[in-house]
Amino acid sequence: GGDLRRILPRVAAQVLLWFTAVMITLTAATYYHSVNSFGADAHSYWLSGHTPNLYGLAPGTRDAFLYSPTFALAVRPLTLLPWPAFFALWAAVEAAVLVWLLKPLGFAWGAPCFLLCTTELFLGNVNGLFALVLLFGFRYPGLWAFPILTKILPGIGALWFVVRGVWRNAAIVAVTS
């Protein structure tokens, strides 16, 4: 009796998580396929190496580049790849990061959590890479340059150094950004 009462909630939670993760993944894949949006965010990064005017498209427009010119320079070497290779590489790097981050959870919990991140992979956004910054950025403050040079708001985590009065780390963030 006692073992079943202890195990049943865990099994129920795993079944619910797996079901939810699979449904979200299938729904997202179907949607992005129907609107031809696989790699939509990554495509704007790739196009930054193929257009003379980074900001020629209005925000909210497909392929609008919403990042800093420094980010465009950083991804520039990758934009020399054909679009399918660029997206495959971008998605593979993000997938590897997510697998590595979720590995401590084990397969039963980590795999459905990975599936919950597939929308990130489908679009090719930068959020998986931001997770690495959150993990390592407090030890290596220069890493905060990446989110700050892509999107300003995720860099708010670097304000932790200012709040804590860790001025050396705050200066490293300022200099590298």
pLDDT, tens digit only, all 177 positions of the chain = 568 888 999 999 999 999 999 999 999 999 999 999 999 999 999 999 999 999 999 999 999 999 989 899 999 999 999 999 999 999 999 999 999 999 999 999 999 999 999 999 999 999 999 999 989 988 999 998 888 888 778 778 888 888 888 888 888 888 887
Residue 142, token pair as written in the block:
């220069």
The secondary structure of residue 153, as a DSSP letter, is G
* pTM across the whole model: 0.85
Are the C-beta atoms of 134 and 157 separated by less than 8 Å? yes
Give me the helices (H) in 36-124, please: 40-47, 69-75, 83-102, 106-116, 118-123
d(CA 137, CA 30): 35
Residue 102, token pair as written in the block:
């979720």
Q: Which of 68, 23, 65, 57 is nearest to 40 (CA)?
A: 65
Are the C-beta atoms of 130 and 98 separated by less than 8 Å? no
